[in-house]
């Protein structure tokens, strides 16, 4: 017991020190950023063909003998010269990435990347989105999906690649693609809506603590954490969930009419192979495989909008990421599947 008490004291001191350091750094960052406007971002563009070419050439240098390597380089140069002389123009593929959190924060960058692409893309080109998201807030993912809809409306082919997960709001985004490609064990679906909150009203009542909820409008507050919830409020809250779910189903059915929407809109998830059978996806393939194939016949450009963050924002982001990882690791241990 004495050891546990000492250990608890050590943890408390460590936590206090960490919090104190974060407070000091936050104060310094606030002073440094005071009076500055929000930093503007910029668009980074990388040609992926050069990346794939570099991988191949490095392997060839090690594996092939000098004579064979020289012959291969001469052949490549000859083909490149002939293509240039013939005025050959390859189609362009613009590659975007979306790594979604619960707030779909990556939408802020995605919107700028899409604006840049639509400034020059034509129906002969293609946009490939590498998507990873387990979903999140309805309005946040609604906006993210609306950004992708801009690509469809412009008549530019959109391919969505899912290597790990596109569920709930993530699948709301994925379904907009003209073609949805999934890795065999990626998680897809979860076409449903969920809301949950604790209620501590009885605990407060037990300790003679009153909590007043004042509203103007019958359904301004249906369920509350501290107040007493009513059956009428619960029914209205459930009605709102059903309305949101209906909108979700209609949205998915609009972009993927080949689906049996009532069969898949149960909130269930499926791994890639089963998702293909349910027509949630069109093909089983990793994004690496798809892009490597496209690089043989098209010019691939990876776009990334980068925003310079202040010290205060970087500290806040680091703390947020650390908390998210801690929470996800904890939840993962509670709901982990083993082979």
pLDDT in tens, 42-54: 999 999 998 888 8
Co-location of 149 and 175 in the same domain: yes
Q: Are strands 269-271 and 187-189 parallel, antiparallel or unpaired?
A: antiparallel
- Tell me the angle at which helices 2-33 and 311-334 cross, rounded to the nearest 10 degrees: 140
Co-location of 43 and 114 in the same domain: yes
**Residue 68: pLDDT band with limits 50, 70, 90:** confident
Co-location of 178 and 282 in the same domain: yes
Q: What is the mean pLDDT of residues 244-258?
A: 96
Is 105 among the domain residues?
Answer: yes
Q: What is the mean pLDDT of residues 245-253?
A: 96
Asked if 49 and 299 count as a contact pair (C-beta separation under 8 A), the reply is yes
Is 147 among the domain residues?
Answer: yes
> Of the residues 140, 168, 182, 190, which is catalytic?
168
Answer yes or no: is pLDDT of 66 > 50.
yes
Q: Which domain holds residue 182?
A: 39-65+90-190+268-323
**Residue 212 has what pLDDT?**
85
Is 288 among the domain residues?
Answer: yes
- Please tell me the distance from the alpha carbon of residue 95 to that of residue 303, in angstroms, as a whole number: 6
Q: What is the mean pLDDT of residues 134-148?
A: 96
| Domains: count for the chain | 2
Is 284 among the domain residues?
Answer: yes
**Residue 38 has what pLDDT?**
54
Better-predicted residue by pLDDT, 234 or 317: 234
Co-location of 161 and 306 in the same domain: yes
Q: What proportion of the chain, given as a percentage, has pLDDT over 90? A: 54
**Residue 54 has what pLDDT?**
84
Is 280 among the domain residues?
Answer: yes
Co-location of 44 and 61 in the same domain: yes
Please indicate whether residue 70 is annotated as part of the active site. no
Co-location of 167 and 277 in the same domain: yes
Is 138 among the domain residues?
Answer: yes
Find the CATH number of the domain harbouring 46.
3.90.226.10
Co-location of 59 and 147 in the same domain: yes
pTM of the complete model = 0.77
Please indicate whether residue 232 is annotated as part of the active site. no
Co-location of 116 and 247 in the same domain: no
**Residue 301 has what pLDDT?**
97
Answer yes or no: is pLDDT of 170 > 80.
yes
CA distances from 34 to 29, 31, 40, 107, 306 (A): 8, 5, 16, 26, 22
In the numeric block, the tokens 């037990």 are attached to: 206
> Of the residues 66, 84, 85, 220, which is catalytic?
220
Is 179 among the domain residues?
Answer: yes
How many CA atoms, within 13 angstroms, populate the side-chain half-sphere of residue 47? 7
Q: What is the mean pLDDT of residues 321-337?
A: 59
């Amino acid at each position: 017991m004495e050891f546990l008490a000492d250990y608890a004291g050590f943890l408390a001191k460590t936590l206090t020190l960490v919090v104190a350091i974060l407070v000091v750094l936050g104060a310094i960052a606030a002073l440094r950023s005071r009076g500055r406007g929000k930093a503007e971002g910029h668009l980074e563009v990388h040609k992926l063909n050069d990346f794939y070419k570099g991988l191949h050439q490095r392997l060839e240098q090690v594996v092939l003998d000098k004579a064979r390597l020289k012959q291969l380089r001469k052949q490549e140069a000859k083909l490149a010269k002939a293509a240039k002389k013939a005025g050959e123009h390859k189609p362009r593929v613009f590659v975007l990435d979306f790594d979604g959190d619960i707030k779909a924060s990556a939408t802020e960058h995605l919107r700028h990347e899409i604006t840049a692409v639509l400034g020059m893309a034509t129906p002969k080109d293609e946009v490939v989105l590498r998507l990873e998201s387990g979903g999140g807030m309805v309005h946040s993912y609604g906006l993210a999906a609306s950004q992708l809809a801009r690509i469809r409306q412009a008549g530019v082919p959109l391919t969505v690649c899912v290597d790990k997960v596109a569920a709930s709001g993530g699948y709301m985004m994925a379904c907009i693609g003209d073609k949805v490609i999934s890795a065999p064990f990626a998680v897809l679906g979860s076409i449903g809506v969920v809301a949950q909150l604790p209620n501590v009203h009885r605990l407060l009542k037990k300790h003679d603590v009153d909590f007043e909820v004042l509203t103007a409008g019958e359904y301004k507050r249906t369920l509350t954490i501290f107040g007493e919830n009513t059956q009428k409020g619960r029914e209205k809250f459930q009605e709102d969930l059903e309305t949101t779910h209906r909108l979700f189903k209609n949205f998915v059915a609009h972009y993927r009419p080949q689906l049996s929407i009532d069969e898949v809109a149960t909130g269930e998830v499926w791994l890639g192979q089963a998702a293909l059978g349910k027509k949630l996806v069109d093909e089983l393939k990793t994004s690496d495989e798809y892009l490597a194939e496209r690089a043989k016949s098209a010019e691939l450009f990876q776009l990334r909008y980068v925003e310079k963050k202040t010290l205060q924002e970087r500290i806040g982001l680091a703390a947020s990421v650390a908390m998210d990882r801690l929470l996800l690791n904890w939840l993962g241990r509670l709901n982990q599947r083993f082979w």
